[in-house]
Structure 1
Amino acid sequence: MPYLAPDPAGTLHFTGTPPPTGAAAHPGNPSLVPRCSSPGYSGSAVASLARACFTAGPAVGSQPFVPRHRPAPSGTVRHRPAPPCDARPRCPASAYRAGVPPPGRASSRTREPGYDPGMLNIGLIGLGRMGTPICARLVTAGHRVTAHDAVPEREQAARDHGADWRSTAEEVCTGVDVLITVLPGPAEITALMSDTVLAALGPGATWIDMTSNSAEAAGPIRDRAQARGISVLEAPIGGNPADAAAGKLRLFVGGDREQLARQRPLLETLADPDRIVHIGGHGTGYTVKLLVNMLWFGQAVATAEALLLGRRAGVELSVLHDVLAAGPASSAFIRHDLPSLFAGDYLTSFGLDHIHDQLTIVVDQARALATPHDIAEAVRRTYQEALEHYGPADGELLAVAMLEERAGLRLRG
């Protein structure tokens, strides 16, 4: 039985000898091993597709083989045109772009000299604290990025990182393979994703929303997008700007599992592979991301109350911190974030207004689903009071600052 085996240049050949597996298959480059076991491919599927490519085209061994995904179900366009067989794979994206262009629509890149199948044409909307380092990561990975933001002054940041800029969302969406949105919340996404934007995006494209959105707000937009033949994934972000710059984000993915497998090579440009978690169907990624945030903010105010009480009772903060970090009440907040508070850093990477919006979504969803939410409501109310006190200032721990003011103590190590 024939097997596919790569030569040192990366060209696949049929051979009677089984190819090496695991790390032995990629000496000097073990990072390629996980991609060789992608759930999107089976040995028989790759072999049959390779035969078709080799028998229909030039002689075996004369060109690299670009694997293709299994076709989507009848009537569904899930992805963009595959690269030509004589193109040189350069990055993992070449392993999951496949299919044929829908009538009247072809990727603009397929007509350009020097087209590289490893380079996706990506539209990016949202160049705030998280969107800007994401833009830099995508460009560095070799993708062509066209960016837009409602704040025109962010154009220079996009260009500094090597991205193109367009003045409207419709221009960004025209002809792209993937649209990535990184916006503050549901209101911004709802305002952005109009029918004209979806029409510009068009059938065969994929929309990945990395916003901390709500399942309720996203549902109607997703339905309209899918009705136009656009694939949709939600991948709200966990992490901070430094994580984004290092490609170490955590992604809470909701949507079709096969679509995630297809887009995983792209997402791994932005996130630690082990932190790309498929939560479930559409809406679940948004929900879990907001639940994580609610628990973190709740831990922040609960820990602050405990520390203020302990300090007032005469316990040294350093002792209290060590005891809490090592005991059954320990949490990621106590172990990793509390030192920032002790140094006077209120974590100014996110605004109080958006924090309050997220907590309100959680409480509203709990109310709609008839689950208890007294603690969630208490956390929401505390951040509402902080918002009223400080205004829409940046600071994830400004609710703690408000508690410090009320106690007349500063939690400083």
Structure 2
Amino acid sequence: MKVGFIGLGTMGGNAAKNIIRAGFETYVFDLRREAAEPHIAMGASWADSPKALIDQVDCVVSMVFGPPHCEAVLKGENGMIHGDCAGKIWIDLTTSSPGFMRELTKDFVAKGGKPVDAPVTGSVDAAIRGDMPMFVGGEDAHVEEARPVIEAMGEVRKVGQYGNGYVAKLVNNQLWKIHATAIGEAMVTAKLAGIDPDVWWDVMKGGAADSFVMQHDVPSIFAGHYDPSFPLKLCLKDLALIKELMDATGTRSELTDACHDRFKEAGERYGVDAGEMTVCKLIEEDAGVTLQIEGDWVAPWEVPHDAVA
């Protein structure tokens, strides 16, 4: 199977490397030609556009910023829809709108394409290692055909029909962002009440308060970089999509709205390129304390892949 990859950012670039490592003949495209240089050095070939890419491959993987960028990949001037889509798989890893994507892919299906949505969870270190949990939606036959490519990047977690992967990703990020916001308040409260941040972190893990955010993201607060590998602009994009989904389903959203407001405040204070966990920095600054702790805190983007460790 020949595989194409569109979108070589922080997460996508690392996922594409794992496809190359898995032995697939790989073609790559990104709006920034220089982003493909490491992949070409690993043996990938460059394609000049999504159309040129789909004409060369059996399966396309995309990971771009959001819904408009997915639309450009498919229907732009040199989008995939203008190429040979018949029998081709499109695996999209983007955090996107389920309703929008279900409508968008109708033309792809009409041309014989097979869409699979597989948004990812975890962080850049999971993308580097190739063990990202992936919420996979689509027809069973399409998912099974796509499985070898997906498993080169991570773990298949089937969620049903096409579009359900986007739903699972949005509600996943909903809980993730709420917990990230709450952790700042809890940590600062504990410190002001007499518990050092490292002691607090040690005793919270494994109990009712535990989560991926607790285990994985708190060290970015201790280190003081607040994880810029996932910037606030992505958090705000995701929270807007979450709000859209909640409004469409008629679900109450007070907690999510408060979380969204906190992320907006962080973006206004630190800029939207600041790290996601700056929602906790807000609480530190306003309380006049610091949660930084000396230690050997390995940044997520510094985790090596076994093949290059």
Same fold by TM (over 0.5)? yes
Find 1:219's aligned residue among 97, 102, 107.
102
Corresponding residue for 2:270? 390
1:356 Cα deviation (Å)? Answer: 0.4
1:326 Cα deviation (Å)? Answer: 4.2
2:160 matches 1:280: yes
Structure with the bigger RCO (C-alpha within 8 Å, sep 6+) is 2
Alignment RMSD: 1.7
Query: d(CA) in 1 for partners of 2:216 and 2:46?
Result: 37
Deviation readout 1:326-357 (Å, 9 max, x if unpaired):
43222232233223322223111122112101
2:17 matches 1:136: yes
1:197 Cα deviation (Å)? Answer: 2.1
Instruction: Check the 8 A contact 1:185/1:354 in 2, yes or no.
Output: no
The runs of 5 or more residues in structure 1 that have no matched partner are: 1-119
SS in 2 for 1:180: strand
Identity over aligned pairs, percent: 30
Deviation readout 1:289-342 (Å, 9 max, x if unpaired):
111112111111111101111211222223322332243222232233223322
Deviation readout 1:78-103 (Å, 9 max, x if unpaired):
xxxxxxxxxxxxxxxxxxxxxxxxxx
Corresponding residue for 2:27? 146
Corresponding residue for 2:302? none
Instruction: Give the residue type in structure 1 aligned to 2:71.
Output: T
SS in 1 for 2:203: helix
Corresponding residue for 1:233? 116
2:6 matches 1:125: yes
SS in 1 for 2:10: coil
TM-score by length of 2: 0.89
Report runs of 4+ in structure 1 exceeding 6 Å deviation.
Answer: none
Corresponding residue for 2:130? 247
Find 1:360's aligned residue among 220, 224, 240.
240
Instruction: Give the residue type in structure 2 aligned to 1:323.
Output: V
Instruction: Check the 8 A contact 1:135/1:163 in 2, yes or no.
Output: no
2:59 matches 1:178: yes
Query: d(CA) in 2 for partners of 1:350 and 1:201?
Result: 34
Instruction: Give the residue type in structure 1 aligned to 2:104.
Output: I
Query: d(CA) in 2 for partners of 1:262 and 1:146?
Result: 19
SS in 2 for 1:409: coil
1:370 Cα deviation (Å)? Answer: 0.8
Distance 1:278 1:128, change over 3 A: same
The runs of 5 or more residues in structure 2 that have no matched partner are: 294-309
- Report the count of equivalent residues: 291
